[in-house]
Amino acid sequence: MAPPQKQSGGLAGLPTEILLEICQDLDVQSIFYLAEVNRMFQTLVETNKASILLPILRREFSPFDELLQLFTASEEDLRNPGATYQPRRVIFRRAPGSTGIVLSPGGFASPSAANSFTSVRRGGKSKTTAPLPPPETAFIAERDMDSLLRYCVDIRKWEERFPQLRWMKEPANCRQLNKDEKERLRRSLYRWWLYAFYFHGDMPRPRRGQPEPCVDDIRTGHMRMYSTSELLDMLDLVATVKDLILHYICPVLEQFASKVRNRSLISRLTLANVSQGSVYSDGSSSEFSFLDDPVRRGKVVNTYAKLDPRELMYYFDNLYSYPRKRLLNDIRVRHPTFTRDQESLQTAIRSALDERHWLDNMPSLASDSAGGILDFGDERDEERKIFGADASRDGSLPGPAAYRPPHAEYSPRGDDGSVVEDDGPMYGQFGDRWTAAPAVSGRIAY
């Protein structure tokens, strides 16, 4: 008679079903810590990765359905008219032909319908009450979980870094975001990232000109799908992103002043006096500010604003590993058409707002310390409900306005700040990267 096997005590001795329920109540980081405990927990997590992680991701990265729209975005979307205007239906399947789980219902479903996972019946057809074509269907499988988690890692970095960037001008007020603020930040990040994929990359633009109000432009139509409150959140995020570019990433701006060793360069560049002289690494000072030109500065910032959240956070995290020349070369390799145009997200948002005559009933705009993604902390927070119900269901123009021809087909050229590269060396305290000067007070908008 074989001796009875010794049963494991503690957590390892629980049935698998109980362990899975416990895992689904943890956060993402704790799941991977658990997998490092021993081989049993590692096998449990690896063999049930989707079952464990999908409920956690839906809870920690809400609105999860919008993250799925970003994850399943494809270059083919713009070649299929109407696909970009309607969120796709996303289904998780363990194997081809198997019964799946609806992760995102697609179309223009109510928010309550997007908050639960629904089983899919074979041969079933989605029902729509509006005269719209059925949404496109995208399938994800177990092998896609690692790629999806990579998006989550980037979003988590933005959650951690955003307070530092948002309170850049008022560091004494910096704090962690609350639950509602984090959700608004994630929603704006997903939508910014999706817009950057469609309209800021190397794919052809829907039209040559910038977005305009009341013009049939897929970019403005994309913004009409969001309420005024959500658009103001995105404007707040765009302003914060441009502060990040202005003070940390962009290689040719006033803030990156340095000692000009080649004095003949001064005669070849437009320099202007500034109220406070730049201090060099050797302690001397100068009354010159490099490229003190608001128009040129805005062009450079608006060009770098085309980078998506993952790229911007990468350059921010590796700031001193990318001196000026390496940064320019890296971006040119990644984006051969980088200087073809400037970002159009801010213009598309403002075009959608102007179509609603938002200035006639002006909502409270964000300041340096409150508003936008952040809570105001007073009665102004109730405005989110007032201005949160005017989104266009299908991205169409709000009535009674009618489409009109565009005023111009001109799109301003981009500028990556490479003018210095051809004019001579510039050196600062960190070699090829220029020493950053203190930030200018006040939020900057271009």
Closest to 184 measured CA to CA, from 223, 222, 158, 211: 158
Residue 10 region by backbone torsions, left for phi larger than 0, else alpha for psi between -120 and 50, else beta? left
- Kindly state the helix (H) or strand (E) to which residue 275 belongs, with its residue range: strand 272-279
Distance, CA of 309 to CA of 70 (rounded, Å)? 12
Phi first, then psi, for residue 90 (nearest 5°) are -115, 125
Which token pair is 14? 């629980």
Tokens of 196: 């950057």
Backbone torsions φ then ψ of 247, nearest 5 degrees:
-100, -15
pLDDT at 104: 87
Q: Please name every residue paired with 433 in a beta bridge, in sequence order, or none if there are none.
A: 430
Whole-number pLDDT of residue 353: 94
Residue 200 to residue 338: CA distance in whole angstroms: 9
Q: What does the DSSP assignment read for 94-163?
A: SSTTS--EEEE--TT--GGGGGS-EE--TT-----SSS-PPPPEEEE-GGGHHHHHHHHHHHHHHHHHHH
Q: State how far the Cα of 417 lies from the Cα of 252, in Å rounded to an integer.
A: 5
Q: Return the H-helix or E-strand segment holding 285.
A: strand 285-289
H/E stretch holding 45 reads helix 39-47
Q: 157-190 burial by CB neighbour count: b if 16+ within 10 A, else e?
A: bbbeebbebbbbeeeeeeeebeeebbebbbbbbb
Residue pointed to by tokens 């490229």: 291
- pLDDT of the residue at 288: 36
> pLDDT tens string for the chain (446 positions)?
455 555 556 777 788 888 888 888 888 888 888 888 888 888 888 888 888 889 999 999 999 999 999 999 988 887 765 445 678 889 998 877 777 888 888 876 544 444 444 444 444 443 333 456 678 888 998 889 989 999 999 999 999 999 999 998 899 989 999 999 999 999 999 999 999 999 999 888 888 899 999 998 999 999 999 999 999 999 999 999 999 998 888 754 333 444 333 433 333 333 333 333 333 333 333 333 434 577 888 899 999 999 999 999 999 999 888 888 889 999 999 999 999 999 999 999 999 999 998 888 889 999 888 999 999 999 999 999 999 999 988 888 887 878 899 988 888 999 988 865 444 433 333 333 333 333 333 343 44
Question: Which is nearest to 414 in space by CA: 348, 333, 352, 332?
Answer: 332
pLDDT at position 99 is 76
In contact, 394 and 108? CB cutoff 8 Å: yes
**Whole-number Cα distances in Å, 84 to 76, 81, 225, 388:** 10, 8, 11, 22
Instruction: Give the torsion sign (CA, 73, 231, 251, 168).
Output: negative
Dist. CA 188–CA 246, nearest whole Å: 20
**Residue found under tokens 């900057």:** 444
The pLDDT assigned to 419 comes to: 66
Residue pair 369/173 in contact by the 8 Å Cβ criterion: yes
DSSP string, 343-356: --HHHHHHHHHHHT
> 56 with 177: CB under 8 angstroms?
no
